[in-house]
């Protein structure tokens, strides 16, 4: 079993201009990320537009990613679905195909109760043997899962090993990391709270910014782990304006996809109803990417 630790870019799903999935582009991007030295990769997450993909497309994305990664880095697959039965199907397919772990959010339309969330996570995780990273993101799912529920399911279900904490409440990340030690590890899911999350015990980061600057997000984590806090802060300060743009724009998927195109990687449009960046947003992204490149060269 591979260690799930470090900065994991959560990848876009590249598309052609007609909004069909560019699976060759996905494979090419994966290879480039691996060459950049990332700790691991995550696909079929929110940044990958999982809710806009068909079941067959999601399955094929997993097959493409596993075949391209070839076991060189850990691969986490988003297996979220509105119903428990569908989430089990996605998670079993990920395991059967060769993924190293699954990323699972609660039902995102039903606004389930704490009891229902616990039962959902438990049923899905117990249907497989691979590690499961559960996901708390009230901004997309409409529910801020309680610390007690997260700790309980991490304690009760052996292969629920991680939580991606995206509530923006650093106290929750702290409490889960400290009180859940030995049962569940915290991954940062808030682009603006990366170092802060590491300081309170997070062991990794599912990173949207990692699409744009994979080497930089890796360096931030590695500098922190090495105890070079001055360097970690220096790198984080460099990345933070981009993180703030991603979190504040409401268009993190479009930003990530456009950034891939600007780098010469596979990106393409988002599926409607997502609209492309405005001219002003595009100019801001170019400015931020140019500033990262300028600092890197200096």
Of the candidates 90, 164, 224, 251, the residue annotated as catalytic is 164
Dihedral of the alpha carbons of 141, 257, 203, 225, in degrees to the nearest 10 = -160
Tell me, yes or no, if 296 is annotated catalytic. no
In angstroms, rounded to a whole number, what is the distance separating the alpha carbons of residues 152 and 175? 13
44-69 core/surface letters (b: 16 or more CB in 10 A; e: else)? bbbbbbbebbeeebbbebbebbbebb
The helix (H) or strand (E) run that includes residue 185 is strand 185-188
- Asked whether the beta carbons of 109 and 79 are under 8 A apart, the reply is no
Report the Cα–Cα distance between both ends of the chain, in Å, rounded: 40
Structure tokens, 266: 């596979």
Report how far apart, in Å, the C-alpha atoms of 156 and of each of 7, 107, 159 are: 27, 20, 9
Tell me, yes or no, if 135 is annotated catalytic. yes
The DSSP 8-state label assigned to residue 21 in this structure reads B
In angstroms, rounded to a whole number, what is the distance separating the alpha carbons of residues 141 and 264? 33
In angstroms, rounded to a whole number, what is the distance separating the alpha carbons of residues 216 and 213? 5
Burial of 234 (0-12, 13-18, 19+ CB in 10 A): middle
- Asked whether the beta carbons of 118 and 153 are under 8 A apart, the reply is yes
Of the candidates 135, 224, 236, 252, the residue annotated as catalytic is 135
Report how far apart, in Å, the C-alpha atoms of 18 and of each of 226, 260, 270 are: 46, 18, 10
Which residues are catalytically annotated? 135, 164
């Amino acid at each position: 079993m591979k260690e799930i630790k470090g900065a994991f870019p959560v990848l876009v799903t590249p598309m052609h201009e007609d909004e069909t999935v560019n699976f060759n582009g996905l494979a090419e991007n994966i290879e480039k990320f691996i060459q950049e030295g990332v700790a691991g990769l995550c696909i079929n997450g929110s940044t990958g537009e999982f809710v806009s993909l068909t079941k067959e497309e999601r399955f094929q994305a997993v097959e493409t990613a596993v075949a391209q990664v070839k076991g060189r880095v850990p691969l986490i697959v988003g297996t979220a679905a509105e119903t428990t039965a569908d989430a089990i199907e996605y998670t079993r397919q990920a395991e059967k195909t060769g993924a190293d772990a699954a990323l699972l959010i609660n039902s995102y339309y039903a606004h389930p109760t704490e009891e229902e969330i616990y039962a959902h996570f438990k049923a899905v995780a117990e249907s497989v043997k691979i590690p499961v990273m559960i996901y708390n993101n009230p901004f997309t799912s409409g529910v801020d899962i309680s610390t007690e529920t997260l700790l309980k399911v991490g304690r009760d279900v052996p292969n629920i090993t991680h939580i991606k904490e995206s509530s923006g409440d650093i106290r929750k990340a702290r409490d889960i990391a400290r009180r859940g030690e030995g049962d569940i590890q915290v991954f940062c899911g808030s682009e603006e709270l990366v170092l802060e999350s590491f300081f309170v015990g997070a062991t990794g980061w599912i990173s949207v910014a990692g699409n744009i600057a994979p080497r930089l997000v890796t360096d931030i984590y590695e500098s922190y782990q090495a105890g070079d806090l001055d360097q970690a802060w220096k790198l984080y300060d460099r990345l933070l304006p981009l993180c703030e743009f991603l979190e504040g724009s409401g268009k993190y998927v479009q930003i990530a996809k456009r950034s891939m195109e600007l780098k010469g990687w596979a990106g393409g449009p988002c599926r409607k109803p997502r609209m492309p960046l405005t001219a002003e947003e595009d100019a801001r992204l170019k400015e931020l990417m140019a500033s990262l490149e300028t600092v890197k060269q200096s």
